[in-house]
Amino acid sequence: MMTEVSEQQTEIDDIVAKLGLALKRRYGEGIRVDNVSIATLGASNRTVLFDAVETAGRRRLVLRQETVKSEVSPFISPHDQFEILKVVYRHGVLVPEPIFELEPEDDLDVGYVMACVEGETLPKVLLNAPEYVVARKRFATQTGEIFAKLHAISTSEVPFLEKVADSIDPLAAQISRYDAYCEYHPGLDVGIRWLENNCPKEKPRVFVHGDYRNGNVILSRNGIEAVLDWECAHIGSAMEDFGWVCLRAWRFGNIDQPVGGFGPRDEFYRAYTSNGGQTIDEEEIRWWEIFGSLRWAVLNMMQADGHIRGVRRSLPFACCGRNTSMIEYEMLMTINGQFS
């Protein structure tokens, strides 16, 4: 255990030293790194918070580095994520300001640095703590407004997303990832067949976030401050983002509040359409919620696979493998109309 801890500290020290040099290369010798902390390790990224300190003052920043490189990774590259941040920031979508992208000379692998936005992301805290009562009330409406702004951005500004598997055929992309694990889940295959037999009609293709949910949004007491985690962005139906944020898993027990456990659908849909969004198709949103269960189940299989193969040994990732059954349950209960 001690060896593990000291190895981790050595790794952190190495990152901090290289980060200091990366800052000096860009901003001169008068800048240094201070007050470093490692945020929770994400599914595909490492997140390091630090202060960039100059004589004039200090600014809290965030380093995002890619940690998982898998052939079946569903995530877009850090380079493309950084490009997206620049586009959406320019359009006034609430995101952390993009600062700079890592380069080979930085010797920090691939990733980027962005501004740190203060606030809370932990879903259960956001859903229960008294200080977030105003933010909770505003979440559905604010999300509708954010989606309207995001979906209005021309796909020509993010042309590199056209090549993403989820842009080409989202269902085929999930099936391909599921098949890569060589596991047989009767529930998932029944769900896949239902999705194939009930495919929605083609809709206008827009720029979608792909992973907008409770947990990937920073909230202050006043409401949403920033949208994070753009690694699943792609081109698709606007209704896909609606289905994902309403997925039962993201309600964290508040099942009667479909929009991330925070609020009702009608406020959400109204805010979206009144801000120039696409036409709402509730039947299609239901299809995307069932699709979302397939996708979430496959992501859990990915986490468990990382644990089983020893790439990222972790008890939470081991739990993910068994959690798949609960997601399959939600999927089938939604198909048969018991869950909504």
State the residues that interact with other proteins by CB under 8 A: 40, 184-190, 192-193, 197, 314-316, 318-319, 322-323, 325-326, 328-329, 332-333, 335-336, 338
State the Cα–Cα distance between residues 196 and 105, nearest whole angstrom: 47
Buried b (16+ CB within 10 A) or exposed e, 26-50: eeeeebebeebeeeeebbbbbbbeb
Alpha-carbon gap, residue 164 to 170, rounded angstroms: 9
Give whichever of 264 and 316 is closer to other proteins, judged by the CB atom.
316
Least Å distance, CB 189 to other proteins, is: 4
Q: How far apart are CA 228 and CA 205, in angstroms?
A: 22
Minimum separation from the CB atom of position 112 to other proteins (A): 25
Name the minimum Å distance from CB 45 to other proteins: 17
Q: For residue 180, give the nearest of 293, 289, 306 by alpha carbon.
A: 306
300 close to 327: Cβ distance less than 8 angstroms: yes
Q: How far is the CB of 59 from other proteins (least distance, A)?
A: 26
**Distance of alpha carbon 173 from alpha carbon 164, whole angstroms:** 9
Minimum gap (Å) between residue 301 Cβ and other proteins = 13
Shortest separation between residue 131's beta carbon and other proteins, angstroms: 20
Q: Which residues contact 220 (CB under 8 A, 6 or more apart)?
A: 118, 119, 120, 135
Rounded distance between C-alpha atoms, residue 222 and residue 212, angstroms = 19
